[in-house]
């Protein structure tokens, strides 16, 4: 793994095909060698609530989301979660490309979230 520092910068970079790419791009993800993913609970729908869309719209967004969840709770098994947001997704994508075990990527994301809480 090649590391380099940009001219006039203190930042250290990992030379990678992820550089300059959107780390949530489906076309980019399809080009990566990633272990096949398997659903542990195929009959459960996971709903990740929060993040930028809810924060950007504020309190106006929540009643509609809650109404939809309540309307569907008898028809569908749902697991309602919140996530670490864009920063965590970037950490997971980089970890997958580097071949890191999922637990390691999760640990890095948790450290990142703890760092953000201390700001």
Neighbours of 109 (CB within 10 A): 20
Domain match, 88 and 75 both? no
How many domains would you assign to the chain?
Answer: 2
Domain extent, residue 51, equals 42-80
Which of helix, strand or coil describes residue 96? helix
Mean pLDDT, residues 52-65: 73
Q: How confident is the model at residue 74 (pLDDT cuts 50, 70, 90)?
A: very high
- Summarised one tens digit per residue, pLDDT across range 78-115 is 998 876 677 777 777 787 777 777 667 767 777 666 65
Residue 57 lies in a domain: yes
Domain match, 112 and 91 both? yes
Asked whether the beta carbons of 109 and 88 are under 8 A apart, the reply is yes
Domain match, 73 and 54 both? yes
**H/E segment holding residue 44:** strand 44-48
Asked whether the beta carbons of 29 and 94 are under 8 A apart, the reply is no
Domain match, 114 and 89 both? yes
Residue 29 lies in a domain: no
Sign of CA dihedral 19, 92, 45, 31: positive
- Whole-number Å distance between alpha carbons of 66 and 11: 42
Whether this model's pTM surpasses 0.85: no
């Amino acid at each position: 793994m090649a590391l380099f520092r940009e001219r006039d910068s203190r930042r250290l970079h990992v030379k990678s095909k992820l550089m300059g790419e959107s780390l949530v791009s489906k076309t980019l993800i399809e080009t990566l060698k990633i272990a096949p993913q398997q659903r542990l609970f195929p009959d459960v729908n996971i709903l990740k609530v929060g993040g930028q869309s809810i924060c950007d719209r504020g309190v106006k967004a929540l009643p509609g989301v809650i109404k939809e969840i309540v309307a569907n709770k008898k028809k569908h098994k749902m697991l309602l979660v919140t996530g670490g947001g864009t920063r965590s997704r970037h950490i997971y994508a980089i970890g997958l490309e580097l071949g890191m075990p999922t637990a390691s990527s999760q640990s890095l994301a948790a450290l990142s979230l703890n760092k953000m809480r201390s700001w």
